[in-house]
Amino acid sequence: MEPSRPSGEGGARARDLRAPDVGVIAAWWLVVLALGFLRTDYTGDGLRHLPPILAGSGPHLGEPRWLLFPALLYGLLRPFVALGLATSAAGLARVMMGATVLAGLGYMLALRACLVARGFDARHRAAALALAGATAGILLPSSDLMEPIFGAAIVVGGLAWAARRAWAPGATPADHRRALLVAVGAITAAALVYQGLVLALGLVPLVVPREALRDRRGLLLAALILAIVPVTMVGTLVAAGNGVGHAVGRALQGEENHFYSSFLKKSGLSARVVPVLAGPPQGLVALGDFRGFNGLIASLRGGPGRREALETLATLGFAALLVWVGVAAAARRRDIAVLLAFASLLILPVVRCQQYGYLKFYIFLPVVAAFAAAPARPLVTGAAALALLVLNTGTTFANLPAERRVAREQAAVYAEAGPRSCWLTTAWIPRYSFRWPGKTCAVLGSLGSAGGATDAEVLAAGHAALTGCLEACFCQSSSVLTEDMTTVGAGPAMADSARQFRYTAFDLQQLLLPPSRAEVASAAGALVPVFRYSAPDQRRLCESVTHARANASP
């Protein structure tokens, strides 16, 4: 006798769980869990929010580009601190990683719901979701500590609800309008968490019928809902003491220090064309230490790292091929919704062309990729997904032993340094910053984090912050450690920072530590050596910085 088949709602749910696309999401999440919890370090963008949560200083507002994210994260993570389940930055980082991988899972499940609502069958959905999940745009934000993934999950969840409502059998114009408003409401909420997510407006045509986009009343209501974003941003900034003009400026550019946001910005036609051609491929494949085409060309012409440059160029070429084949296929099908969604993703890379490879710009590229690939042959889509998965995870998993060794070596250095030491860097934070026990003095971080109502105030605050942290580092610390002040690129990096932020109080080139004078703080044979300024060098630089600070005082 054959077993009875499940029937009714329960049977449909059982069949749903056995569908191949559900299996794809489950396998994807296992990969994300491994990537996230085997990781030894995290991006500083997420780590910077953890100290106030540990200290219990209460929810607070962030910069306009991530206005409500600190408060959201505080509400999610503070209970773990209060219950004694996370007592250090390292422990809290693991808790945040748990929240992150859950947000990534929510994103993928909501994307599946969008495809179900649009009528794609299970095989096509499985291939499309495999491709979307293999992209760097969702794979890496779901396995690292990044701000946008939480808001992005809210957006895709809202799009899923809207798609189910708009494409349900017998849906009426009122249903279409309601779907539009829910989608825009989700985007509005997410934009207050992370400002750039407002570009998800370009995804709305993927999930609502064209009739909804011609509904004047619906569009007016949607505009009123969306107006909550600028009104809230400007209102909170004015309430915090900013003038109205200054508040509007901060809300528009997303941060107070435009000297940092325009750092290394280029002009001309190429500065707009290159992001369009080379930006989206980096949402498919993470290129690691890619620093632009000038460095790539220099390496290809015989400079150091020629083999790595060839590998990077081949990877970029493959990803670009996938992007533009997908665009061409959508154009051939006259799929205006996919083309509009893709175009919306190009706005930030073109406007902030100096950061066109910034992964956060492409957090919705997986949604566009899924809708573009869903009509294609599943076998072809699946092969592309497998290639992307190998490119995005193969090197990471292969490098895990080396990364864990570096983590152990750095931990030994940090333990010996102690809380009275100082870490000096050209950029923002030390490696494994959540484990570093002492002070940190970051050249770019000090200059780029300053704020003020006018350019003069921004520059003055940055200058004072850098000079002050250098003085504290060299005059009030038991030792000064660095990883990058001995490298070839340290001099040009500091020259660029000094020029961009007009810093002249102290010659930053004096901070360079020639290898011949550096003391090695890490163990012999360390994969990433850490250096220490000698006592004479530390005293000399203390005197120079103190003298510069005295001369700069009014």
Per-residue pLDDT reduced to its tens digit, 301-359: 666 667 777 888 888 899 999 999 999 999 999 999 999 999 999 988 888 776 777 88
Instruction: Clarify whether residues 189 and 260 are in a common domain.
Output: yes
Six-digit token string for 370 = 């899924």
Please list the residues that pair with 440 across neighbouring strands. Answer: 423
Instruction: Clarify whether residues 296 and 415 are in a common domain.
Output: no
Element (H, E) at 8: helix 8-17
Which ranges constitute the DSSP H helices of 352-454?
A: 365-373, 378-398, 400-417, 443-448
Per the CB < 8 A criterion, the answer to whether 66 and 135 are in contact is no
418: left (phi over 0), alpha (psi -120 to 50) or beta: left
pLDDT at 254: 65
State pLDDT tens for residues 402-455: 889 998 999 999 999 989 999 999 888 888 888 899 999 999 889 988 888 788
Q: How far apart, in whole angstroms, are the C-alpha atoms of residue 194 and residue 310?
A: 36
- Is 470 domain-assigned? yes
Confidence category of residue 15, pLDDT binned at 50, 70, 90: low
pLDDT at 293: 64
Rounded to 10°, the helix 216-226/173-193 angle is 20
Sequence length of the chain is: 554
Which of 398, 427, 450 delimits the end of a domain?
398
Instruction: Clarify whether residues 410 and 391 are in a common domain.
Output: no
pLDDT at 554: 52
Q: What's the mean per-residue pLDDT of the chain? A: 88
- Kindly report which listed range (8-17, 63-72, 124-133, 289-298) carries the lowest average pLDDT score: 8-17
- In the chain, the amino acid numbered 255 is E
Which of 372, 398, 424 delimits the end of a domain?
398
Per the CB < 8 A criterion, the answer to whether 182 and 165 are in contact is yes
- Residue found under tokens 């006592």: 535
Six-digit token string for 142 = 């779901």
Higher-confidence residue: 266 or 104? 104
- Is 479 domain-assigned? yes
Confidence category of residue 265, pLDDT binned at 50, 70, 90: low
Instruction: Clarify whether residues 348 and 434 are in a common domain.
Output: no
- Is 151 domain-assigned? yes
Domain count, the chain: 2
Instruction: Clarify whether residues 351 and 415 are in a common domain.
Output: no
Instruction: Clarify whether residues 432 and 475 are in a common domain.
Output: yes
pLDDT over 50 at 4, yes or no: no
Strands 480-482 and 422-425, sheet pairing: parallel
Average pLDDT for 513-539: 90
State pLDDT tens for residues 56-106: 888 888 888 888 999 999 999 999 999 999 999 889 999 999 999 999 999
Instruction: Clarify whether residues 547 and 423 are in a common domain.
Output: yes
Instruction: Clarify whether residues 156 and 300 are in a common domain.
Output: yes
Instruction: Clarify whether residues 493 and 520 are in a common domain.
Output: yes
Q: How far apart, in whole angstroms, are the C-alpha atoms of residue 270 and residue 503?
A: 29
Show the domain range for 407: 401-552
Per the CB < 8 A criterion, the answer to whether 187 and 198 are in contact is yes
- Is 8 domain-assigned? no
